[in-house]
Amino acid sequence: MHSIFCYLLLFIIGFQSPNVPVFEQEVRSILKTHCFECHGEEEKLKGGLDLRFKSLILRGGDTGPSIVEGKPEKSLLIDRVIAQEMPPGKRKLQKHEIELLKSWISTGAKTLSIEPKVIPRGFIITETDKNHWAFKKIKDTPIPTVENLSLIKNPIDAFVLNKLEAKGLTFSKNAEKNLLLRRAFIDLIGMPPTPLELQNFLNDSTPDAYEKQITTLLNSQHYGERWGRHWLDVAGYADSEGYDGSDILRASAYHYRDYVIKSLNAGKPFNDFIIEQLAGDELLKPPYQTTSPKDLEKLIATGFLRMAADGSSAKDVDIKLSSNQTIADTIQIVSTSLMGLTTQCAQCHNHRYDPISQADYFRLRAIFEPALNWKEWKTIAGRELKIQYPEDKIKSADLEHKALEIDKKKNERLSAIQKEEFEKSLAKVPSEKHATIQKAFETPIAKRTAEQKKLLSDYPNSNVNAALIIQRDAKLSAEFKAYTDEADKIRALKPAIASYRVLTEVPDKVPVTNRFERGDFEQPKEVIKPGHFDLFANHNLGIIPEDDPSIPTTGRRLAFAKSLVSENHPLTSRVLVNRFWMHHFGQGIAGNPADFGKLGEAPTHPELLDWLALNFIKSGWNLKEFHKLVMTSNTYKQSSTRTETLQKADPDNKLLGRMNIRRMEAESIRDSILKINSKLNEKPYGPPVPVTPDDYGQIIIGTDTRDGAGRFTGKKVDLKGEEFRKSIYIQVRRSTPLAVFESFDAPILNPNCEHRNFSASSTQSLLMLNSQFIQEHAEHLALKLQKEAPKSIEEQIKLAWILVYSKAPSKEEIDVSMSFIKEQTDHFSKNMKKNDSKSDLQSLSALCQGLLISNRFLYVD
Amino acid sequence: MMNYIPSRRKFLAESSMGLGSVAAMWLMHNEGLLGAPIKPELDQEKFDLSAKKPHHAPKANAMISLFMQGGPSHHDLFDPKPEMDRFNGKAFPGTIKYDSTDQASNKVFASPWKFKKHGKSGIELSELLPFTSQIVDEITVVRSMHTGVNNHGQSIEALNTGKVSAGRPVLGSWLGYGLGTENQNLPAYVVLTDPASLPVLGVSNFSNGWLPSMFQGTVVRSKEPRILNLDPPFHLKGKPQERLLSFLDVLNQEHKQLHPWELELEARIASYELAAKMQSAGKEALDLSQETAATKKLYGMDNPLCADYASRCLIARRLIERGVRFVQILSRNQMWDNHGALISGLPANCRQVDQPSMALVMDLKQRGLLGSTLVTWGGEMGRLPVIQNDTGPTKIGRDHNTYGFTWWLAGGGIKTGYIHGATDDFGHHAVKDVVNHYDLLATILHLFGLDHKKLTYHRNGQALALTDNQPGQIVKNIIA
């Protein structure tokens, strides 16, 4: 019965009578994609034909009308596309596209609205374009009603349940308490709870036990490290320049990474966070060298616009080409991360799908050119901001003074030895010559007369070289080394002159921005002024000045940043909340986080998206409030199990009748393992932990000890616990990503990453089975179990389960584990030399490995 | 209802059932992937390495790239220039694009080695390549290669990834992405590295760029352990790891019961099975003791000068036989970068690779594999016609030249006994039938049945390709 019903339902949905196609909806986008470039949007019309409106199509070109209403077989347009004469080039119309054009003509070539009488040349934005969901003003949507009010925890639930109920569905039951806590921990800090944290939660019977956990997690230092990583993905953060194979290190990039983490931890309103990153320098007055530490943060924030791959310091690079590529990548980072638009398509020609013209693209580019001036491009070293604060200067001078004291002592001692040795040597010189030889010796070498020189060479013993004497005498050299070491030690304490990777404008050097024909910087065309996309003409986004007289810089980026975070901007808040949502649910409300244009997937819950976007603005762009709202909803708390009903009605979970099961990201896998086996080094911030290839070409954490010819020396440098720091502090070198990260789909920053892959491959499996990484950490965990549960293997198994799965094992699971351990131990002890007691540890390690590589650990249920 | 039976067979049997259905579903999903126009990414794509149908009927289904990093001197090996003899030691009559200006000279440097016609085709090769001379009737010599970027890194990027910029996927990754592989127990893309060092650009030579990590090259080293993470640590070898896999399977099956219809979980369970199979299949594929003495001798394994390269060529053949899609044999760092001491350095390099390269082509042919296996031999550049480092006959060398250099190709639908293109009288610039890096890559994909414009990957709203908007032309004249 059930399946027949479903079949019928499918029948009804699948075989609805087709809509009559209309020009604005289906037809225009096909023509725009394939034809407008020559027939409408460029200055010259090919064949006198303009296809932008139906009236123009009817009028036709040099060879007459393009269509005859009702008669596709008599329409020139159809003839030409079927004959594949048009469009020229390799990309032809698809069959279904031609069918659609035919069906439009045969049904009378309908339009939705009356077309304008006067049609200007060039790029036109139609009403349909403007009415695309993402370009419309964000609507203040009323919260819908639902039947089952008891399931509503907050408005999110109402929006989601309303759609579920419309399909006869409802929420899945809440996830088990321990799974829910594990989910919350991994979502917010990227690591599971400790047994104590878990126990406290399970024992807490107060009604707001779960809410309290969320608050605690949001206050954890690890929260900023976890959500900072999400932001660094879209910002394209890397510790190296990329661009070419040399992939030079970016020594000062980490200040920006730390800025992101600190901002998120401090709960900085997201609008300020965005303004600082786009225009932090414009909030301050130059010279920036004297900026206070508090304001320095705003300059470091502009590192966001310095994240794109950058060939400025690479060898043999065409700097015009590389600088223009860096600018294009920077614009791509800005537009995908904040606007959810693929503007890069409009760099060479008008966007083929979205209403963004090439002029729009260059208006956007003009906003950044005063700071990213390709005609006077600065080297990387030349643009770094170097700061030493007065108190640091004083401290440095003070330390130098102390070091000089030691140098002085050393020199005095040296003179003393010299004197002593010289006097000894006089024994071999006739006494009448003592005075003259002494004078000769004390005269500086350059000033010695020929006579004095001869004298000293006649009595070489008198030409005392104290340095040589010290070198030859072990005791003396130790004494002198101590002086040098002490002075060095003191000098090492001097505060370094800090260097920051920032973006600033050069005052009074504002370049002119030109449109580049076909995106080619060798073909500059008309001058373009900074401004918003035409598409947003009616959104009241304010004006972007060419040069704001009230501040020292042009004010272009500041005005742009402020417009992005104004409540009138249709994209920014939608794009942000959609991405945050994606990180909680594994999928966005709109499916393509970086493309809200025509090719992007329309939102499954547009009203919810708008409500969240407006609510986010109303909350003061408060991300922590957003987490609380989402994570305390019943929508979030649902179980992730697919029920038969849901599987049939909504296999892709578009309606959110359950939670999605999600694999942990690469960094969370590593961080979780480190937390579980108590190896985690929680030290925050600072220069990244280095990575290096080993002689497999595999990238591991470690210092590069290859020699000048690139040969492996096998030397190991002790990292002193740095190797156990959180993953966000591991160096992100574009050409050599850490193997564990790369294998588990860490982002490729080229230029940034909007959406990670989640692959399952045998490379991952081999890594999890045999790599040194997993073997080491499984053993760390086994040692921890032996230490913390010394009584019995059963206790060790129970603890392992709670640590790795956040849940105690069942009786059966204990039995299986016991029998596994027993067989492994038997095997190991049989195959080992006598008196080797490692077999217990080895079998326990194997158990730990089994847990750490199992799906139940790798996935968030 | 869990049963702990420490039996690997059970584990394999159960999960291979699972594998079948997962693979089938992925296959169905992926078939729509190729040849599709630019379209929205409605669902997150799933990726796998199951064999896939190309766009059109292929001529090649496997490839072995013999990559000669540093830039072998085409003047002295493949591209005889009698005109240079007249000018030997005299000023070069034209302008030269030098790379290292500090040691540059404009004195023409005619090849000190003799060229002779070989085979029925009469292709002229240098006396430095006595073995390659024996297979001239099997190969096409392309004398008009061109990348036009005069340094190692960028030219390697160009030939490997289609463009000079860093961070893109290499050819081997694209082949894995587009075609999958015939043998799921072995990697689709294997890289055989030189025991001395990695070429310039290091691991970027086999990087998947922004393609999913499963399409990365798997490195096989010259010494044990040959494949990273292939072997269990010593104490886990054999039974203990079998038990671990069975225990893992129990855990995973239990978890899966809570998550019916969750394909990704099944895929991961299957991937552990693949890993286990790879352990034995990998070992077997790399076991050269299965080869006859005659075969080993053919490759030159008895000659210490070329034994290592010979073993890698032989491994390459064994991998191709077992269904691996793409094998890349990398030379050591800057092996052919003869800025100085060309007189001694170049012959030494040739002795290392000449015989094994010949043997590979002959061996593939006698096994009936050459028809479907494309073999390529070449580096990222050639050399200049003039002397570099003019400080005495034993010290002189040649500087970089990416404006004209030579590759040879064999098998996989390539013409036999054929010369394509030409450089000018001094071998400085390719002047006839120029083959750019993007032309070569488009042609290779074409031989595999792939359209270089249609094989795309969607990222940040763009459809990206190996040749990405460059005017790649298929070099029809070298195709049989």
Q: Does the N-terminal peptide bond of residue A287 adopt cis geometry, omega within 30 degrees of 0?
A: yes
Q: So what CATH class is B58-112+122-199+210-221+301-416+436-478? A: alpha beta
A592: contact with B, CB 8 A cutoff: yes
* A 210-239 residues inside an 8 A Cβ radius of B: none
The pairing of strands A498-500 and A385-387 is antiparallel
Beta bridge partners of B375: B64, B410
Cβ of B252 within 8 Å of Cβ of A758? The answer is no
Question: Residue A736 corresponds to which tokens in the numbers above?
Answer: 């050599």
The letter for the amino acid at A556 is R
Are A456 and A437 spatial neighbours (Cβ–Cβ below 8 Å)? Answer: yes
Question: Residue B227 corresponds to which tokens in the numbers above?
Answer: 């494949």
Cβ of A758 within 8 Å of Cβ of B156? The answer is no
Q: Residue A758: its chain B contacts at CB < 8 A?
A: 44, 264
A271: contact with B, CB 8 A cutoff: no
**Looking at A314-328, B293-307, B434-448, which range is the least confident one?**
A314-328
Q: Residue A659: its chain B contacts at CB < 8 A?
A: none
* Among candidates B2, B40, B228 on the partner chain, residue whose Cβ is nearest the Cβ of A816: B2
The letter for the amino acid at A228 is G
Which residues 6+ apart lie within 8 Å of A431 measured at CB?
Answer: none
Interface test with A, best of B50, B190, B203, B227 (most A CBs within 10 A): B203
Cα separation, A166 vs A605, in Å, equals 13
Q: Which residue of A has its CA nearest to B213?
A: A743
Are A803 and A195 spatial neighbours (Cβ–Cβ below 8 Å)? Answer: yes
CB pairs under 8 A between A and B: 255
A859: contact with B, CB 8 A cutoff: yes
* Among candidates A244, A642, A749 on the partner chain, residue whose Cβ is nearest the Cβ of B259: A642
Residue B460 has pLDDT above 70, yes or no: no
- Spatial CA neighbour of B475 closest among B444, B443, B449: B443
Cβ of A244 within 8 Å of Cβ of B216? The answer is no
CA distances for B61 relative to A411, A439, A624, B26, B188, angstroms: 76, 89, 54, 21, 12
Output DSSP code: residue A379.
P
Q: Which residue of B has its CA nearest to A594?
A: B460
Interface test with A, best of B272, B274, B335, B456 (most A CBs within 10 A): B272
Distance in Å, alpha carbon of B23 to nearest chain A alpha carbon: 12
CA distances for A491 relative to A391, A488, B224, B348, angstroms: 16, 5, 48, 52
CA distances for B246 relative to A813, A845, B249, B270, angstroms: 14, 16, 5, 13
Q: Residue B250: its chain A contacts at CB < 8 A?
A: 816
pLDDT for B195: 83
* Residue appearing with tokens 């195709």: B479
* Residue appearing with tokens 């986080």: A593
Beta bridge partners of B422: B432
* Residue appearing with tokens 């010819």: A709
* Among candidates A749, A763, A771 on the partner chain, residue whose Cβ is nearest the Cβ of B214: A763
Helix and strand counts by DSSP (H, E) for chain A: 36, 8
Cα separation, A125 vs A28, in Å, equals 12
Cβ of B272 within 8 Å of Cβ of A765? The answer is yes
Question: Residue A315 corresponds to which tokens in the numbers above?
Answer: 């060898």
A332: contact with B, CB 8 A cutoff: yes
A316: contact with B, CB 8 A cutoff: yes
Radius of gyration of chain A (CA): 35
Q: pLDDT tens, B15-57?
A: 333 333 333 333 333 333 333 333 333 333 567 788 999 999 9
Cβ of B278 within 8 Å of Cβ of A599? The answer is no
Residue B164 has pLDDT above 70, yes or no: yes
Each domain of chain A, given as residue ranges in start order, spans 17-124, 269-384+503-570, 390-496, 770-860
Q: pLDDT tens, A702-757?
A: 998 887 767 778 888 999 999 999 999 999 998 888 989 988 888 878 888 888 87
Are A411 and A542 spatial neighbours (Cβ–Cβ below 8 Å)? Answer: no
Interface test with A, best of B248, B334, B457, B470 (most A CBs within 10 A): B248
Q: Residue B168: its chain A contacts at CB < 8 A?
A: 750
Cα separation, A769 vs A773, in Å, equals 10
pLDDT for B46: 63
Q: Which residue of B has its CA nearest to A752?
A: B460
A200: contact with B, CB 8 A cutoff: no
Q: Residue A821: its chain B contacts at CB < 8 A?
A: none
Question: Residue A803 corresponds to which tokens in the numbers above?
Answer: 């640590």
Q: pLDDT tens, B65-121?
A: 999 999 999 999 999 999 999 999 999 998 888 777 667 888 999 999 999 999 999
A91: contact with B, CB 8 A cutoff: yes
Query: Mind giving me the DSSP string for A62-78?
Result: TTB-S--TT-GGG-HHH
pLDDT for A216: 98
- Asked whether this complex has an ipTM greater than 0.95, the answer is no
Q: Residue A246: its chain B contacts at CB < 8 A?
A: 153
Cα separation, B385 vs B426, in Å, equals 6
Q: pLDDT tens, B326-341?
A: 999 999 989 999 998 9
Q: Residue B468: its chain A contacts at CB < 8 A?
A: none
Residue B2 has pLDDT above 70, yes or no: no
Cβ of A745 within 8 Å of Cβ of B258? The answer is no
Mean pLDDT of B271-278: 84
3-state class (DSSP) for residue B104: strand
Cβ of A697 within 8 Å of Cβ of B219? The answer is yes
Beta bridge partners of B463: B458
Interface test with B, best of A182, A324, A759, A825 (most B CBs within 10 A): A759
- Would residue A233 be called left, alpha or beta, if left means φ above 0 and alpha means ψ between -120 and 50 degrees? alpha
Cα separation, B477 vs B480, in Å, equals 8
Q: Which residue of A has its CA nearest to B259?
A: A641
SS (H, E, C) A727-743: HHHECCCCCCCCHHHHH
Please, how many CA atoms are within 13 Å of residue B340, restricted to the half-sphere of its CB?
A: 9
Q: Which parts of chain A register pLDDT below 70?
A: 1-19, 709, 833-837
A825: contact with B, CB 8 A cutoff: no
Contacts 24+ apart (CB under 8 A), A144-148: A144/A607
Neighbour count for residue B302 (Cβ, 10 Å): 12
At residue B60, φ and ψ (nearest 5 deg) are -110, 145
Higher pLDDT, A286 or B346: B346
pLDDT for A11: 36
Q: Residue A599: its chain B contacts at CB < 8 A?
A: 38-40, 461
Distance in Å, alpha carbon of B63 to nearest chain A alpha carbon: 21
A595: contact with B, CB 8 A cutoff: yes
Cβ of B460 within 8 Å of Cβ of A734? The answer is no
A750: contact with B, CB 8 A cutoff: yes
| Burial of A837: CB neighbours in 10 Å, binned 0-12, 13-18, 19+ | exposed
